[in-house]
Amino acid sequence: MRPPLLALALLVAAGCGSSSSTPPTWSPSPPATSELAPLRGERYVRGIIHAHSVYSHDACDGNPWPDGPNLECWGQIRAAMCAAGEDWFMLTDHNSSLSSEDDFTKLLLHDAAAGDELVLKAGAPIANRVACGDGRTVLLMAGHEDSIMPIGMEGHIAGDAQARSDFYGRRDAEAVGRYRDELGALVLQNHTEERTVEDLAALGLDGVEVFNAHAALLPGARKDFLHVDPSGALDGVLPFFDFHEDTWKTSPEPDLSLLGFLEDFAVYNATWDALLAQGRMLGVLGTDVHQNTYPFILKDGERGDSYRRMMRWYSNWVLLAPGELTPDALKAAMRQGRMAGVFEVLGTPAGLDFHAETAGAIAEVGDEVALGAGPKLVAVAPTVLGLSAAQAQPEVALSLKCNGAEVATGTDRLEYTPTAAGFCRLDVTIVPHHLTPYLGATPEPFVKTYPWVKVNPIYVK
């Protein structure tokens, strides 16, 4: 069944230069991160933050637990994280279902028969290596979303289901500290757009969302919190939802529907910069996937809001030292600030590099450098991995922002020596001419400037 456009409007409102050569077939999966060249011996690993499984009451079309877990939906999220090329995955299920499940292993979606392997600490499970069936695994950890969003929890808080529910519903600095100290979690703010800087600063958070798909889509959130055109997202995505088989050939690639509502919202940037002015603060991209908004099938054979499609849109990249991907190594790198948010449906950025040079030494993203040492900040523009010379080339631009103000720009490379203490973060934008062949009969409205990569800061002290 395929709905009329009015039904799409109701569902969205309710849900939480081209080349003459033939382009490659659109890939539902991005390249593996193993295809990226190492950066000074370190590597990027890709992952999702903010996702809901059968342990969220509003996931799986509101039917996550019909009579036991919804096994079809259970299998879909597991398959999607593999198909989307994730290296790690941070679940953030809702309090009611999460707190009532005594067996923490189940919250890790563990399936021994599929070849999963639990990661243990002091004999207890803290993570699951989800088997993809092709030799790859995805490191999955549990967490939850309520009024705050702890990720990478290494177990339940002590107590029975009621005690857990009471604690997981808290929003205060003491609870944030307990998540960190007792459960090994990083504590983030979900739906940052709904909060004030003063409120966020008082909690002692590790990070905040600087993009959330639901907020960017829903008319109410757009109007009340993002302060943009409420209907802009709906108008933007309609061309990607063609339900007439006779015109599917000329409709855009459904995975690119993100382009209908992707922008670098000023509210997120202003809040993040104000928090960074007070100290360290991660900026992350929140996927907020529930697979509960648009169940109808598009021309690629998948529902509009499939787990795989939304994971394909964007991810968070973490820069890791050589060695095995472990919960400890992953979360340590996150705490260190070695992260970038990547809108990867626009292309996988190869050669992404933002660092500081001081007296022959290199400081990476998340590091601190001394102002008195005269550090030189260097950014190198990435290219689209796998793009051939025969395809149209995108326009890529670099923007360095220190203490909330743009201080340097470039197209291939930029260098800048800070003149004041504070923070400097990098934005990379792209005009995706290379995607024109996938944008249907009328690509022009979608060939414009988009955020491509948002790199966390280097701190100047």
pLDDT in tens, 205-218: 999 999 999 999 99
The one-letter amino acid at 238: L
Closest CA to 152 of 305, 388, 327, 368: 327
Low-confidence ranges of the chain (pLDDT < 70): 1-21, 243-245
- The whole-number pLDDT of residue 250 equals 80
CA distance 186 to 181: 10
Measured in degrees and rounded to the nearest 5, phi and psi for residue 167 equal: -70, -45
Model confidence pLDDT, tens digit, residues 33-63: 999 999 999 999 999 999 999 999 999 999 9
Alpha helices in 5-103 (DSSP H): 5-14, 71-83, 95-100
Give the end-to-end CA distance of the chain in Å, rounded to a whole number. Answer: 59
> Strand, helix or coil at 317?
strand
CA distance 391 to 17: 9
The one-letter amino acid at 287: T
The label of the residue with tokens 């398959």 reads 79
What is the H or E stretch that residue 320 is in? strand 315-320
- The whole-number pLDDT of residue 100 equals 94
CB 448 within 8 A of CB 358: no
CA distance 257 to 255: 5
Q: What angle do CA 391, 394, 399 make, to 5 degrees?
A: 160
- The whole-number pLDDT of residue 21 equals 59
* Encoded tokens for 170: 């808290």
Pairing verdict, β 422-431 and 315-320: unpaired
- The whole-number pLDDT of residue 243 equals 63
Closest CA to 89 of 53, 132, 145, 51: 51
Q: Could you tell me the CA-to-CA distances from 18 to 383, 441, 444 in Å, in that order?
A: 17, 12, 11
* Encoded tokens for 325: 């991907």
- The whole-number pLDDT of residue 249 equals 74
Q: Is 42 exposed, middle or buried (0-12, 13-18, 19+ CB in 10 A)?
A: middle
Pairing verdict, β 124-131 and 186-189: unpaired
CA distance 32 to 23: 20
CB 322 within 8 A of CB 42: yes
